[in-house]
Structure 1
Amino acid sequence: MTENALVIDTCITPFWRTELEPHSWMPEPWASKRHLPGILRQMYSAPTGIAPYGEYRDAARPADDAAALPGSSIEKVVAKLDADGARLGVLVPLTRGPQPDQDMSTVLCAATNDWLAQTWLGDEAAAGRFLGTIRVNPGDPTAAVAEIERWGDDPRFVQVGVPLEAQRPYGQRNYFPIWEAAARHRLPVVVHADGGATAGFKPTIAGYPHKHIDYASQESVSGLYHLASFILEGTLERLPDLRVVFGDGVHDLLMPFIWRMDADFAISRHEVPWVPKETVEYLDRFRFRTSRLEGPEEANPAWLRLSRAAELLVYGSNYPHWTSGSPNELPLGLEGEARERVLWRNAADLIRPRLERVGRTELVPAAAGADS
């Protein structure tokens, strides 16, 4: 257990108990006449771990059902929170990646939200320890807005979730109604990898890698395209209340990318007159989940300072993925107030506007952002 008084786990991935369970939450013809791709990663699955779930921690399965999917046990996730000293866990369910059939993606997102609300967010064993993510299909903006409005007043949901994989960068204007609805409800947007279980889109701009290590080392690069788009398309200027969280890396690549954008900004700003500030000045609108795959292996004060780790990172275990971690596995060198900010203050500041809107301010201390 961490020595800190409070931990907020910003990324726990709950799973359905079985591959077929989503059908029971869908209307016809989806319930009985349409087949969903498998929830476990088919492409680039991690070669480590306990068979047959190399991508996920086998111990996360329910103790009474060896055939159940990892991450489907509420009791085990609560135990993970307890072991980490975490008061709250934000649930980020997956939706099997972008589907060629947009209607399927939209129906699955709605079913996922219904399931999350009626099971994990309503379970007595969880005792109010979980907060939820409204999953929406960015490929269907009209339906995505409707889904945000459907759950926008539910105090158990604290963010909107979209896949890292997308056909277009997220700052482009076709997505704007989604971000406008999220900002209106004071819901941050989390961008989390959700591919591998379906055809999806090419995971790199050069095509398909062959091996897991090739894929895994490049996966988070896609986040940089979305980040640049949010800034340069003017989305952040138009929506001052919008906040974006990258739930699958990006932080270790961030500053060199920002430096490159700002280097070209002086000669290119006539193209984006709606962006009055240099790109580095928009970083306070973003947060990035801690990742065991990122950062130096040894304490590096210079890296911590240059990467602005203490202000930009939020702790997230990413449980039950094979890369899941604990508060004791934060980037080395984060100590004292910096460690406290990453473990809970940054997350508390991020979700407090939402909690104030829905009347749940008791979940985070009022002074969380006093010295941020």
Structure 2
Amino acid sequence: MTVTANPRVPAAERIAVRCVDSDVHPMPKRGALLEYIPEPWRSQYFTNHAVGDQIYYDAPDYAHSYAMRVDSFPPDGEFACSDPDMALRQLIMEAGSDIAILEPTHGESRLPGATAAYCTATNAWLADNWLDGHNNWHERWRGSICLAIEDPAASVVEIEKWAEHPYMSQLLIKAEPRPSWGDPSYDPIWQAATKYDMPVSCHLSRGVYETLPIPPVGLPSYNHDFMVTYSLLAANQVMSLIFDGVFDRFPTMRVVFIEHAFTWILPLMWRMDAIYAQRKSWLDIKRKPSEYVKDHIKFSTQPLDYPEDKTELSRALEWMECEKILLYSSDYPHWTFDDPRWLVKHLPEHAREAIMFRNGIETYKLPDTVPVLEGQVRVF
């Protein structure tokens, strides 16, 4: 399928945005990121010793395709989603997404400075290789400003550097570093986020040692333990944001949880509201916890918990008012990819437009139209 007769000039005609993908993972080509890592971290930390493949993810066929769609590896032998043109073809032209939020998979190091250096490099690489005029000629890619949340001062520097870039749409952090997000030490990051009216998104991650997601009883034994642990980690951060008053200190702040699942938020809202009802005189927050969730927090649809009885999922979606808190996400190019044409069929009809594109446009402050791409599949 051809993208357009003139592949580097956007069409004058525009079309309505009907699908916003909140979770796409671009990858650098081999060696491409190294030149962006500032010294002394490049030579004294990232390249001063060889590190083998550390596998914390026993996904199907990991040894062969690294948990990626096998058809997403470009012909030049580079990694999946390292070719912006191929990603455009598969994700936009063939699957039907109109705008994709790019989230590079930066990991956590034990040293905050090392994580900050890696984020600095990732942001510059993303701007040069995906958001530039050559690769984003179609205006479909939107970037993430990667932050080392454990280093608030360095994070603010990155926000100030990139927040006014025309195609940077969110701040991207990890949930593993301690303390939890309600701690005032993070307030400079939240202040900068609200200054530029940018959402703060959190994507799950795997670091090493204590930077792995650790539940209260210690490190899990298996990958499936880790996968559930991400939701537990997100639940604790939700409680910290609310009960420690972050949304009262920063009333315009928006938070997005990516790939932490979402069905758990319903019983958590019930439980928080029950505690609030009994102890509101002891608390400084001004509203029911569930109201903060619905006004300030969004969750990606992938991974979608899918019970054998689909009516159970439908009821849960209705009870949690899914049209207020969900954003469509595909997780491209991972093997867990959720095609938007498949996902939309499993949403309540009244919530489909909100989840598939309206919430995304509002959350990321996106345009409601994009240049036409001749031959693009449409979800709606």
**TM-score under structure 2 length normalisation:** 0.85
Do the aligned partners of residues 317 and 311 (structure 1) sit closer, same or farther apart at CA in structure 2, a change above 3 Å counting? same
Do the aligned partners of residues 73 and 261 (structure 1) sit closer, same or farther apart at CA in structure 2, a change above 3 Å counting? same
Q: Please, which of 44, 53, 60 is the counterpart of residue 72 of structure 2?
A: 60
1:238 matched residue in structure 2: 249
Q: Please, which of 74, 98, 104 is the counterpart of residue 84 of structure 2?
A: 74
**SS class of match (1:219):** helix
> Which of 297-306 and 179-188 deviates more?
297-306
Q: CA RMSD in A?
A: 2.5
Structure 2's unaligned 5+ residue stretches are 1-15, 372-380
Q: For the Cα contact (< 8 Å) 1:60–1:73, is it kept in 2? A: no
1:5 positional shift: 6.6
Q: For the Cα contact (< 8 Å) 2:23–2:103, is it kept in 1? A: yes
* 2:306 is the alignment partner of 1:329: no
Do the aligned partners of residues 165 and 38 (structure 1) sit closer, same or farther apart at CA in structure 2, a change above 3 Å counting? farther
* 2:131 is the alignment partner of 1:131: no
Alignment of 1:277-316 (within 5 A): 277-283=287-293, 284-300=295-311, 301-316=314-329
Amino acid aligned to 1:61: F
Alpha-carbon distance in structure 1 between the residues aligned to 2:61 and 2:84: 21
Do the aligned partners of residues 361 and 322 (structure 1) sit closer, same or farther apart at CA in structure 2, a change above 3 Å counting? closer
1:78 positional shift: 0.8
Alignment of 1:89-100 (within 5 A): 89-97=100-108, 99-100=109-110
1:226 matched residue in structure 2: 237
Q: Please, which of 344, 358, 362 is the counterpart of residue 345 of structure 1?
A: 358
1:121 positional shift: 0.6
* 2:30 is the alignment partner of 1:15: no
Alignment of 1:81-230 (within 5 A): 81-97=92-108, 99-122=109-132, 124-126=134-136, 127-196=138-207, 200-230=211-241
> Which of 340-349 and 199-208 deviates more?
199-208
**SS class of match (1:131):** strand
Alpha-carbon distance in structure 1 between the residues aligned to 2:248 and 2:53: 37
Q: For the Cα contact (< 8 Å) 1:92–1:133, is it kept in 2? A: yes
1:29 positional shift: 2.1
Alpha-carbon distance in structure 2 between the residues aligned to 1:253 and 1:263: 16
**SS class of match (2:202):** strand
**SS class of match (2:335):** coil
Do the aligned partners of residues 335 and 253 (structure 1) sit closer, same or farther apart at CA in structure 2, a change above 3 Å counting? closer
Alpha-carbon distance in structure 2 between the residues aligned to 1:199 and 1:164: 12
Q: For the Cα contact (< 8 Å) 1:192–1:247, is it kept in 2? A: yes
Q: For the Cα contact (< 8 Å) 1:11–1:92, is it kept in 2? A: yes
Amino acid aligned to 1:267: Q
**SS class of match (1:34):** helix
Q: For the Cα contact (< 8 Å) 1:109–1:137, is it kept in 2? A: yes
Do the aligned partners of residues 14 and 232 (structure 1) sit closer, same or farther apart at CA in structure 2, a change above 3 Å counting? same
1:47 positional shift: 3.1
Do the aligned partners of residues 38 and 193 (structure 1) sit closer, same or farther apart at CA in structure 2, a change above 3 Å counting? farther
Alpha-carbon distance in structure 2 between the residues aligned to 1:39 and 1:17: 18
**SS class of match (1:227):** helix
Alpha-carbon distance in structure 1 between the residues aligned to 2:321 and 2:175: 23
Amino acid aligned to 1:303: A
Structure 1's unaligned 5+ residue stretches are 365-372
1:217 positional shift: 2.4
Q: For the Cα contact (< 8 Å) 1:40–1:197, is it kept in 2? A: no
Q: Please, which of 298, 319, 333 is the counterpart of residue 320 of structure 1?
A: 333
Alpha-carbon distance in structure 1 between the residues aligned to 2:107 and 2:184: 25
Alpha-carbon distance in structure 2 between the residues aligned to 1:38 and 1:77: 30
**SS class of match (1:132):** strand
1:231 positional shift: 0.9
Amino acid aligned to 2:83: S
Does 1 or 2 have the higher relative contact order (CA < 8 Å, sep 6+)? 2
CA deviation profile, 1:162-192 (whole Å, cap 9, x unmatched): 0132212112211111011001101000010
Alpha-carbon distance in structure 2 between the residues aligned to 1:41 and 1:349: 39
**SS class of match (1:105):** helix
